[in-house]
Structure 1
């Protein structure tokens, strides 16, 4: 049984803040700073270049990948860390297209994260492949015999809708297509099982629900039966079978190692490793039950306090990720008013108020406070001030 009071105590949570934005950036684990400092002093500082072997830096992407594998239903040796999520999407897409010669369609949905679609469009332009975008609920019916790969984010980043990974993967395979699942809003939030679902590729980031910190490295998983066949276009030194032989030509490393590209971000991996310690005492079924409890309670509390809001997120727990979204015509200003009162959620264009619930540290008290403050803001129209409507330019 998972003790969620104990996991909550493992994080730095600023006083007076109700943090419901862990689906954008998780809070800092208390152990992270000390872990990074120890790595810098005892490893980088004292070992210098010897840290690659003496401290195990070279193997860290695989060791950390194995720790994440348990959280997504993968096995040991199936996941490797490194680079960014966009790079891992690019690798998975290019490898999948190569495994389906003669098919030139990448199928995705309009609820997918735009960056994934951008990567697909760029790759499609380079390889003369077409990116076909349909509505989320139309994916199954769009699996025609020209589709090479189905690319889906399991939990929609705006609405919180959770796709049925097993069913869509089954339909894709029946149509002769491969699948790529983006777990950015799944890993650490829901009980994803890529093995049981038969997923071919999975990718994800670690700075959201996994709390690895800003810029934390991404991961990629390749199903074992494809691991020695998959060959991405982006081939790097660390993915070579003999990286220190410095051969002129590329020869892919066996299995998941070929999905490595550049030098692993050891400082970032140290922070992530500290965050993953917390997960050693977490049961994923209990995590999912907690997520359903929190999100269900929030839907009820907000609809009671704020009857004018439109629920965007599915009511059915099976189709809901670990977030809740509501629609309001002045969603940006309302969210700014919430943040000013210490309830930190997120805004997604054009009109979505988004609240992410991280079972490791969010509580029912967070649920009730956020709903109460939101109700007060809407009832008093305290959001209707120029300061809350002005949008800061992001650079």
Structure 2
């Protein structure tokens, strides 16, 4: 499998693959779950550990600008999601940030009681929303509808519409511009989860007039396992909201150690506790990869890769059923296929060096990170998949034993 696909010859992103640490013999189709390690990140993190922490010690908060790292990293992410400087901060986890922005959104519409979401939303967002409404105990209702029913359910009772832009199972994409506009027409606040969008597809939060957004740093942004998440607050709301988690990093003068809480102005008001410097340093370094890349080029290659994948699978693996939208304009940077024994097939694939993942009950997910995947990788991966299906080599006990992480 050393040939080159014709589409790779004109790929202006092909040189980026050399910037990543890819194990020999592995075709990685799981960047939608955990990104690949950029080669320069270990050295950068080692410097933070041995030189900054090791030598500067506590002085590094000032001498190496650790204190401002959440804001500096946020601005780098902002460039990839259409957010102006000073509106994004990298901190905490996606779940914690959902709690913060949803609470802030509800405070902007105190007379309304409905949180509208859909059944394609990532479950943690729904869990957090349910927990928050119970905590507030003000009569809020979490209304979960089918994705195609969201627009019809936007009325004068909805306080906040909270959606994941790219469905984690199928890759289906919500129209952010259209739904945000319709939410605003109904007087509601629009919150977008970009966990499967940031770094993979073009996003324009400012242009769409989104009110809030959240997302994670460890998928297409390649920040590493458990990398800090991020959150966005529209410039229209920055002077109106603060975090419901009033920790000292969100205080206007954290080192005055006053006993009363006064939120700092700007996006820093959404920070809470001491930032995780080692994890933030990894994410900040990983974002170097995007500095000379246009998101339009990433999106174009993503579509090319996923279209090739679907064509190859449907030609060679008739046992599988496409679970993703067929139109690339309606998909993110992943493709899912259904198969009754999808878990076992995925484990057999992984054993052969093709790494994707599985989501219950029968969805095999394949993510396409254009910075480190080639068209030849796609052809080679499908050849292995076809062989596994044709020979039935997936039908073995060791491939059917469920691990904790699928």
Q: What's the TM-score, normalizing by structure 2? A: 0.95
Query: Which residue is 2:355 aligned to?
Result: 344
Query: Which residue is 1:8 aligned to?
Result: 17
| TM-fit CA distance, 1:196 | 1.0
Cα separation, 1, equivalents of 2:341 and 2:365: 13
Equivalent position SS for 1:80: strand
| TM-fit CA distance, 1:126 | 1.1
Equivalent position SS for 1:27: coil
Cα separation, 1, equivalents of 2:330 and 2:220: 18
1:288 aligns with one of 281, 299, 304: 299
Cα separation, 1, equivalents of 2:405 and 2:150: 33
Equivalent position SS for 2:143: strand
1:69 aligns with one of 58, 78, 86: 78
Is 1:21 the counterpart of 2:30? The answer is: yes
Q: How does 1:67-216 map to 2 (within 5 A)?
A: 67-128=76-137, 129-216=140-227
Query: Which residue is 1:298 aligned to?
Result: 309
| TM-fit CA distance, 1:244 | 1.0
Cα separation, 2, equivalents of 1:392 and 1:359: 28
Cα separation, 1, equivalents of 2:95 and 2:40: 28
| TM-fit CA distance, 1:394 | 5.4
Query: Which residue is 2:240 aligned to?
Result: 229
Query: Which residue is 1:385 aligned to?
Result: 396
C-alpha contact 2:324 2:337 (8 A) present in aligned 1: yes
C-alpha contact 1:2 1:281 (8 A) present in aligned 2: no
Residues 390 and 119 of structure 1: is their aligned pair in 2 closer, same or farther, counting only changes over 3 Å? same
| TM-fit CA distance, 1:321 | 0.1
C-alpha contact 1:322 1:356 (8 A) present in aligned 2: yes
Residues 153 and 44 of structure 1: is their aligned pair in 2 closer, same or farther, counting only changes over 3 Å? same
C-alpha contact 1:154 1:163 (8 A) present in aligned 2: yes
The root-mean-square deviation of aligned C-alpha atoms, in Å, is 1.3
C-alpha contact 1:72 1:192 (8 A) present in aligned 2: yes
| TM-fit CA distance, 1:88 | 0.5
Corresponding pairs, count: 395
Gaps of at least 5 residues in structure 1 are none
Structure 1 stretches of 4+ moved >2 Å? 392-395
Cα separation, 1, equivalents of 2:405 and 2:304: 35
2:318 aligns with one of 307, 311, 314: 307
| TM-fit CA distance, 1:232 | 2.8
Cα separation, 1, equivalents of 2:302 and 2:325: 14
C-alpha contact 2:243 2:271 (8 A) present in aligned 1: no
| TM-fit CA distance, 1:315 | 1.3
Equivalent position SS for 2:279: helix
Deviation string 1:204-249 (CA, Å, 9 cap, x unpaired) is: 1010000000111011110001011012311111011111111111
Cα separation, 2, equivalents of 1:130 and 1:6: 50
| TM-fit CA distance, 1:272 | 1.2
C-alpha contact 2:116 2:158 (8 A) present in aligned 1: yes
Cα separation, 2, equivalents of 1:297 and 1:173: 38
C-alpha contact 1:2 1:282 (8 A) present in aligned 2: no
Is 1:364 the counterpart of 2:362? The answer is: no
| TM-fit CA distance, 1:5 | 2.0
Query: Which residue is 1:272 aligned to?
Result: 283
| TM-fit CA distance, 1:49 | 0.5
Gaps of at least 5 residues in structure 2 are 1-9
Cα separation, 2, equivalents of 1:91 and 1:2: 41
Cα separation, 1, equivalents of 2:226 and 2:209: 29
| TM-fit CA distance, 1:343 | 0.5
1:218 aligns with one of 229, 249, 274: 229
Cα separation, 1, equivalents of 2:88 and 2:318: 45
| TM-fit CA distance, 1:201 | 0.3
